[in-house]
């Protein structure tokens, strides 16, 4: 401060203006135009992509359980096959929204390159009676519907609508299987 000038009084307007400039500058302080080379350089997964993959895997598992149920009890095919087809279509639709390069995981390429054949995945265990098999399938469908519903608040609007539709379908098939399961 120069001795020949009197001190400038601090006004409320000057304090607020300085505070506004400081708060505007703080968020920009972390920004950079260059590439991030630190340990946090790995991208965080997109919540929609994670939800799509998770829901598609659940639908694929339901389709596999339905197919195994029909294999074990062919008489249940008229009741179970529509659910199986719906789950396959749901899984396809969920994966269709992913980037084409990563839409389906490549599990066969690592086994082929190592020369060792991977054992086929074990199918789901189907209970010994048709009624128990339908109950197991209905319970799995209810669990999938509940899980899909739980993800609705964490995804974009379009995906939330798709997940809600899938959850409603799963819940409807679960209710249908429970009502027809008593007749099995």
- Domain membership of residue 89 (yes or no) is yes
What are the helix and strand counts (H, E) for the chain? 6, 0
* 87, two tokens: 């789950």
- Domain membership of residue 18 (yes or no) is no
Write down the mean pLDDT value for the chain. 78
Domain that holds residue 156: 46-99+126-181
- For residue 113, pLDDT over 60 is answered with no
- Domain membership of residue 6 (yes or no) is no
Q: 146 vs 9, which has greater pLDDT?
A: 146
- pTM score: 0.66
Q: Among all chains, which residue has been given the structure tokens 């993959």? A: 53
What's the rounded mean pLDDT across residues 31-36? 55
Q: What is the gyration radius of the CA atoms in the chain, in angstroms?
A: 28
- Domain membership of residue 14 (yes or no) is no
DSSP per-residue string spanning 26-39? HHHHT--SSPP-SG
Q: Which of 27-36, 109-118, 159-168 has the lowest mean pLDDT?
A: 109-118
- Domain membership of residue 157 (yes or no) is yes
- Domain membership of residue 28 (yes or no) is no
- Domain membership of residue 107 (yes or no) is no
**Interval 39-66: pLDDT, tens:** 555 688 889 999 999 999 999 999 999 9
- For residue 74, pLDDT over 90 is answered with yes
- Domain membership of residue 158 (yes or no) is yes
| Domains held by the chain: number | 1
């Amino acid at each position: 401060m120069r001795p020949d000038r009197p001190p400038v009084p601090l006004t409320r307007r000057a304090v607020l203006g300085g505070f506004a400039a400081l708060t505007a500058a703080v968020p920009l302080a972390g920004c950079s135009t260059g590439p991030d080379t630190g340990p946090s350089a790995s991208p965080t997964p997109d919540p929609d992509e994670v939800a799509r993959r998770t829901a598609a895997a659940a639908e694929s598992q339901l389709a596999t359980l339905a197919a195994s149920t029909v294999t074990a009890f062919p008489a249940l095919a008229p009741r179970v096959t529509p659910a199986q087809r719906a789950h396959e279509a749901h899984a396809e639709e969920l994966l269709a929204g992913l980037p084409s390069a990563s839409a389906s995981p490549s599990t066969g390429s690592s086994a082929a390159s190592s020369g060792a054949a991977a054992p086929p995945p074990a199918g789901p265990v189907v209970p010994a009676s048709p009624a128990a098999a339908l109950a197991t399938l209905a319970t799995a469908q209810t669990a999938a519907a509940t899980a899909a519903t739980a993800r609705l608040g964490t995804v974009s609007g379009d995906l939330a609508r798709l997940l809600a539709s899938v959850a409603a379908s799963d819940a409807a098939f679960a209710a249908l299987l429970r009502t027809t399961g008593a007749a099995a």
